[in-house]
Amino acid sequence: MAGMAVSAAATTAAATYRRRPGLMAWLVLFPLIAWLVIFVIVPTIMLVVLSFGQQTGMGSITFTFTLEHYARAFSWTWLNVLWTSVKYALITTVICLVVGYPVAFFIGRAPASMRNILLTLVMIPFWTSFLIRTYSWITILSKEGLINGFLVSAQIIPEPITLLYTPFASVLGLVYNYLPFMILPIYTSVERLDNAMIEAAYDLGAGPVRAFSQVILPLTAPGLTAGALLVFVPSIAMFAITNLMGGGIPPTIGDVIYKQFTSGRAQPFGAALGTLLLLIFVVCLWVTRRQRED
């Protein structure tokens, strides 16, 4: 109810201020538009055009119009790979949600002086290169690594256990890397949460569970959806983490596309897989957008 009221108000406000952008606005927008055209639109067009082309044995590309790469993409091998990637991304998203929501809520409700410190703590990992952080997990998880070293010397386990190069390690790496992308949008929703709404819920006789499920959750839903999207979408295509921490098994769609562009010598096929992945992302965006509009 309250969510609807807020979004309705926002829509009216937007409608009131909507007018044609002037020259100045275009000038200000120009760098952003140029960036989008050069780094998003043009590469996407190149990808789609390439997906209909052919590659000779030597590796040069001829531009024809064939649908064979799309036909090939819908075989069991590649659908299976895609499903694996989606599964990993879903598990990652759910874990990030369960772990990230309480954290975001805690930060959002903390005293203002604490908030910035806590937010900085969430952001600190980004100061280090992503690859270095992933490599450091290898030294933590390996058989002669920190965790096994501690557990064995404390005589908790007799022999080192296998942690690295397992699906567990892959998911751990993904969750670790994408958790901040879940926390930050939820935090912005929680920060904006109107205390009066929660108090009203209690005044009207709602218990903590009901206040959470019927007031807090709907009000923070936009942050939640945004967070889920920001974790889910990049997780599907990620291959560096799954290769380094999962040992490259099972292969992910990102890894398969990468190989088509290199040793597989099948760039058009890789482009077709990339285009299909792009379509999946578009569907995800569309679904969450509709959800927000409802």
- For residue 165, count other CB atoms closer than 10 A to its CB: 18
Q: Tell me how many residues contact another protein (CB under 8 A).
A: 62
Is residue 250 reached through a cis peptide bond, with omega within 30 degrees of 0 on the bond before it? yes
Phi, psi of 231 (to 5 degrees): -90, -45
**Distance of closest approach, residue 187 Cβ to another protein, in angstroms:** 10
| Piece of 42-50, 90-98, 134-142, 208-216 that binds another protein (CB under 8 A) | 134-142
Furthest-apart CA atoms within the chain: distance in Å = 74
Site string for another protein, 189-218 (x = CB under 8 A): x--x--------------------------
Binds another protein (CB under 8 A): choice among 261, 280, 281, 284? 261
If you write DSSP's letter for every residue of 52-79 in order, what string do you get?
Answer: TSEE-TTS-EE-----HHHHHHTSHHHH
Residue from 162, 208, 286, 291 that binds another protein (CB under 8 A)? Answer: 162
What's the burial of 73, exposed, middle or buried (CB within 10 Å: 0-12/13-18/19+)? middle
Stretch 35-64: interaction string toward another protein, x if CB under 8 A? --------------------xxxxxxx---
Give the chain's end-to-end CA distance (angstroms, integer): 11
Alpha carbon distance 2, 27 (integer Å): 38
Using CB under 8 A as the binding rule, whether residue 259 contacts another protein is answered as yes
Contacting positions for another protein (CB under 8 A): 10, 13-14, 55-61, 77, 80-81, 84, 129-131, 138-139, 142-145, 160, 162, 164-165, 177, 181, 184-185, 188-189, 192, 222-223, 226, 230, 233-234, 237-241, 243, 247-251, 256, 259-267, 269
